[in-house]
Structure 1
Amino acid sequence: MRLLYIKRKTKTEQRYSQKMGRLDTKVTYVKQYFLGLPIKTLHKYRETYYGEVKDCEDCMLFI
């Protein structure tokens, strides 16, 4: 068993962008784990409809 490792997980979220409005996007989280417990999120990014990869800073989480 490894003590420290990095894992990627993709899930669908609803986000809001001022230009596009409400979006259903696939958001990928890159997290660092220690003994199976998540320590911190290193990076999160989303894939657009056209296949581009963008950072999640430009759109907000839609609740």
Structure 2
Amino acid sequence: MKLITVKRETKQEKRYTPKMGELLTRVTYIRKQFLSIPYKTLHRYRETYYGEIKDCEACSLAR
């Protein structure tokens, strides 16, 4: 039994970018877990409309 694991989870979120406005996009979180309890987010990224992978720091959750 492993105590520390790394899990990837994808969910849809609303994001806002100055060029495109508000959009609904798939955001993937890579998290460390201790006994199946997430405690640290290692990285998060999103997939654009055209299939490119971008970091989530370029857009915000609200206007």
* Band the TM-score falls in, shorter-chain normalisation: over 0.9
Q: Which consecutive unaligned segments of at least 5 residues does structure 1 have?
A: none
How many Å apart are 1:55 and its aligned residue? 0.1
Structure 1 counterpart of 2:35, which letter? L
1:30 corresponds to:
30
Offset at residue 50 of structure 1 (A): 0.7
Letter in 2 for 1:26: R
Runs of 4+ in 1 over 2 A off after TM superposition: none
Partner of 1:7: 7
1:24 Cα offset (Å): 0.4
Q: What do the CA deviations read for 1:27-47 (whole angstroms, capped 9, x no partner)? A: 000000011111100000000
Is 1:50 matched up with 2:63? no
Deviation at residue 62 of structure 1 after TM alignment = 2.9
The reply on whether 1:41 has 2:36 as its aligned counterpart is: no
Counterparts of 2:6 and 2:23, CA distance in 1: 28
Question: 1:27 & 1:52 partners in 2: Cα distance?
Answer: 12
Give the superposed CA RMSD.
Answer: 1.2
Identity of aligned residues (%): 60
TM-score in terms of structure 1 length: 0.94
Structure 2: segments with no counterpart, 5+ residues: none
| Matched residue count | 63
